[in-house]
Amino acid sequence: MKVSAEEIIHNAIESDKDITNYAGVSETKIFEGEELIEHFTMEENVEGQKRKIISNDKLLGNQSEVLNDGEKMLMYDKENGIAHEMDLSELGGFTAPSPREQFTTMMDIIQDSHTHELVGEEKILEFDTYHIQIEANESGGLIGDMEVWIDKKTWFIVKLISETGDSRTESTYTELDFSPKFTEDVFTIDIPDDVEIETLDGDLGETSVTLEEASEALGQDFLLFSHDNTELLSVELYDFSGGELDRNEIVMNYGSKEGTPLASLSVFPTPEDMEIEASNLEIRGNPAEHEEIINGYTWDEEGLRYSLLIEDPSVDEEEILNWTENMVLSSEE
């Protein structure tokens, strides 16, 4: 009996079959145009909450290991002799989603922005898979076109190809076992005695600040929403100086007059290498982008980039544009 992509997705959502133990090896290649920019393999061992991943970078020759037992995460960069440990208990622990949950979550995210169809059924390794073609309704989004091959019995994504702009990612499992027998030493990492294990606290470095302090961090005044439309719940400063981003970023969280979360607005210096693409959308007379998947709006103004994420799905675009037209300078608040 033939099935549709919609039936497959529905069956995955309704299924109570979750794979909690597996061992696999996958190979991933990432291309920018025709150039291979990343090539690595991953060895995964999963037993309940315990998860160990060994990554091998084929281009740089580096190897790293990550061990997560749901309460603590240990990371070891073998090439550079660097180890880090993070306590996850204060974050409520961490349990990775099952393969079925990963698939259904992905399909839920793209349900309004993509179309999908069942291409056919194919065998990969010894597994019978559904081959599903997924196409973006519009170009230029965060998630482009994809092809996925999922195991019929477990909803495990055995192979994935995705394309966004000029970037193409190909990921395929070359080994996969859903009934592994692990030895005691599998869920350990052998770190040499002379390597110091540094503790990470999980803190992203945010600091609650006043609007005046936020302006000082950015080096100029910035725009924020008027109290007539929303209520400013908090202002946070993220200090990324010295890192890859090398900037200060302000995040303002907004709610309704009753305190219900509405949106967050991030402000930071306009990146030189990330221009806003021309579109039919303008905000405050500036070219703007709308990312449907995350319901986010982005625009540049007076040397600053504004990134607005809408948290309340009942807020429509007309209301959002009204908010932006009534924005005021931080020095006026």
Q: Is the pLDDT of residue 229 over 70?
A: no
According to the model, what pLDDT value does residue 189 have?
A: 93
**SS3 sequence of the chain:** CCCCHHHHHHHHHHCCCCCCEEEEEEEEEEEECCEEEEEEEEEEEEECCEEEEEEEECCCCCEEEEEECCCEEEEEECCCCEEEEEECHHHCCCCCCCHHHHHHHHHHHCCCCEEEEEEEEEEECCEEEEEEEEEECCCCCCCCEEEEEEECCCCCEEEEEEEECCEEEEEEEEEEECCCCCCCCCCCCCCCCCCCEEEECCCCCEEECCHHHHHHHHCCCCEECCCCCCEEEEEEEEECCCCCCCCEEEEEEEECCCCCEEEEEEEEECCCCCCCCCCCCEECCEEEEEECCCCEEEEEECCEEEEEEECCCCCCHHHHHHHHHCCEEHHHC
Q: pLDDT band for position 2 (50/70/90)?
A: low
Mean pLDDT of the chain, nearest integer: 85
How do residues 55-88 score in pLDDT, each as one tens digit? 999 998 889 999 998 888 899 998 888 898 888 7
- What's residue 299's pLDDT? 92
Please check the confidence at residue 277 and state whether its pLDDT lies above 80: no
166 pLDDT exceeds 60? yes
Most confident of the following: 101-105, 139-143, 164-168, 209-213: 209-213
pLDDT at 232 over 70: yes
At residue 202, the pLDDT reads: 52
pLDDT reported for residue 109: 77
- Model confidence pLDDT, tens digit, residues 136-160: 888 766 678 999 999 988 888 999 9
Quickly state the pLDDT bin for 223 (edges 50, 70, 90). Answer: very high
Query: Is 308's pLDDT higher than 80?
Result: yes
pLDDT value at residue 1: 45
Domains, the chain, with CATH or none? 5-200 (2.50.20.10), 206-332 (3.40.1000)
Listed range (9-13, 89-93, 164-168, 301-305) with the worst mean pLDDT:
89-93
| Model pLDDT, residue 133 | 92
